[in-house]
């Protein structure tokens, strides 16, 4: 599946029969799956998954009103086919209006690029501040206008650098 390709561990919780669930899981490339899960079973499995992977976020993908509790229990609830159930739409964190999950992989990729850019910008800002502090301690930047100008230029450069996220994701 597209989500597995984004580097995420996928676990399928299905209300279908074991045979249907296995067939769907194999065709989607999902290694771990559970069949005949009723809403309360899915809720328990979500709690188990959150305990097993405490650092990672749990994204629950569903489409029915019976998934509302699961949407709330997961860190991120995504309602696929937003026209199917208004209750599911209201409890989910995000709504995909068609019946495919393909936009999720794009959102995961965008989040990874954003996280990387934020880390790079934080390091750059800390480096500029450290250089200004060292220069001030050495007496080179005793005038406030110089430090303010360097800080402003660094801020503008950071804004321009971070705007690349929009152009890379189109």
d(CA 122, CA 131): 14
Dihedral class, residue 56 (left if φ above 0, else alpha if ψ from -120 to 50, else beta): beta
> 71-94: per-residue pLDDT in tens?
888 888 877 765 556 666 676 677
d(CA 15, CA 91): 20
> 16-58: per-residue pLDDT in tens?
899 998 998 888 788 888 999 888 888 899 899 888 887 777 8
pTM of the full predicted structure?
0.60
- Which of 18, 51, 42, 67 lies closest to 79, judged by CA? 67
- Strand, helix or coil at 12? strand
């Amino acid at each position: 599946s597209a989500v597995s390709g984004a580097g995420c561990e996928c676990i399928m919780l299905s209300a279908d029969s074991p045979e249907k669930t296995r067939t769907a899981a194999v065709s989607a490339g999902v290694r771990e799956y559970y069949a005949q899960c009723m809403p309360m079973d899915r809720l328990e499995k979500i709690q188990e998954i959150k305990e097993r992977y405490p650092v990672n976020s749990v994204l629950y993908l569903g489409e029915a009103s019976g998934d509302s509790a699961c949407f709330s229990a997961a860190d991120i609830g995504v309602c696929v086919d937003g026209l199917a159930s208004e209750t599911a739409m209201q409890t989910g964190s995000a709504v995909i209006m068609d019946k495919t999950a393909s936009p999720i992989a794009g959102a995961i990729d965008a989040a990874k690029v954003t996280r990387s850019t934020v880390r790079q910008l934080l390091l750059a800002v800390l480096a500029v501040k450290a250089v200004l502090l060292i220069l001030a301690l050495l007496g080179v930047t005793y005038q406030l206008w110089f430090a303010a100008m360097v800080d402003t230029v660094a801020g503008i450069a950071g804004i321009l650098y971070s705007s690349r996220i929009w152009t890379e994701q189109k």
